[in-house]
Amino acid sequence: MKSKQHKLSIRNKPANPVRLPIRFPMKEGQRMLPGLWHQLAPELQDLQYSAQEVVCQICRAYRKRESSEARHSLNAQRRRLNIIATRLAALKKDLTNEQKLLAAAEEIRSIHRPLGAPGSVSEVMHFLGGGDYFASQKEYFEKTNRADPAEPLDKLAKNLATARHFLDQKIAFVQSKIQSIKAPWKVRPHLWWQAGGIYYLLDRIFREASVKPTTQADAHRKIIEIMRKVDRRVLTFDLSKGYCPAICTAIERMSSDYKQLCDQHLQEWLDLTLRQR
């Protein structure tokens, strides 16, 4: 069994930056998700316009992470790839064996090979079924510079070998694609679906993209309300500490690489210069 440390190293492995599907309307003031924006308007009112749109789209994606549509889409992808792999395997199985083709080519050459002059050693050895000066019929036509009567079969055998190798590669590729299909919330590029990711992104947005200074306490209060509306999640604000312990703990558990990847996307989406933390 794989060690716990190995599993953690895989889980925390940073992914290559991926351009995520964050879109903006053509004109400021228009909304991509007007219904969700109205629902979250009290929490978003102090954010810049583009930041409001990013939060709405993040929350919409987070809300749909466990939807039946997402699961059915994944199952459909797996079924389609399995069908392709099965068809490729059947095609490979139906290919004619190259060795049989090569044997047939030798037989064709043998009936086209001259017997030799009457009474010659070549003619006598042929009738007696004796040995030959050449290792194969093909070698005879090559060494005597004669046209090979079975050349098309030879080419076909080579092409079949190439096709068989090609199909082996593609079957392996399809199988790897099937193995790589994971639930969307387990795929690293969907940053806000990872543990702590949505808290980190929302906290950064509220504290970096607000039209007025926003404290950690203010940001956490807004995140708590957003998560209640989006996910029916109950988070508690600790008045004595001035923050939400659950949010802080989840963010602290994120790897530095994961946080850096989140920051890269925020800078791309919002054109922000983020402060170092």
Q: Domain boundary at 161, 180, 199, which?
A: 180
Same domain, 254 and 208: yes
* pLDDT tens per residue, range 92-103: 888 888 888 888
- Residue 246 located in a structural domain: yes
- Residue with structure tokens 């920051």? 263
Same domain? For 121 and 171 the reply is: yes
- DSSP annotation of 28 reads B
- How many C-beta atoms surround the C-beta of residue 101 within 10 A? 21
Residues 60 and 195 in one domain: yes
Residues 130 and 148 in one domain: yes
Q: What percent of the chain has pLDDT over 90?
A: 28
pLDDT score recorded for residue 98 = 84
Give per-residue pLDDT as tens, 197-223. Answer: 899 999 999 998 888 889 999 999 999
Tell me how many domains the chain contains.
2
Residue 204 near residue 36, CB atoms below 8 Å = no
pTM value? 0.52
Instruction: With respect to residue 21, please indicate whether it lies within any of the assigned structural domains.
Output: no
Q: How many CB atoms lie within 10 A of CB 269?
A: 20
What are 222's two structure tokens? Answer: 């807004």
How does pLDDT run across 23-60, given as a tens digit for each residue? 555 466 678 788 888 999 999 999 988 899 989 988 88
Closest CA to 62 of 248, 267, 260, 227: 227
Domain range spanning residue 45? 32-65+190-270
Residues whose CB is less than 8 angstroms from the CB of residue 70 and which lie 6 or more positions away in sequence, other chains included: 64, 183, 184
Q: H-helix or E-strand containing 257?
A: helix 256-270
Same domain? 133 vs 106: yes
126 lies in some domain = yes
Residue ending a domain, choose from 148, 180, 212: 180
What pLDDT shows up at residue 20? 47
Range with the largest mean pLDDT of 33-37, 61-65, 72-76: 33-37
Helical axes 216-231 vs 197-208, angle rounded to 10°: 130
Section 70-95 average pLDDT: 83
- Mark whether 122 and 196 lie in a shared domain: no
Domain boundary among 150, 180, 210: 180
How is residue 239 written in tokens? 């008045």
Angle between helices 216-231 and 49-63 (to 10 degrees): 40
Q: CA angle, corner 31, sides to 52 and 64, nearest 5?
A: 75
Find residue 243's DSSP bridge partners: 238
pLDDT tens for each residue of 124-150: 455 444 445 667 888 878 877 888 888
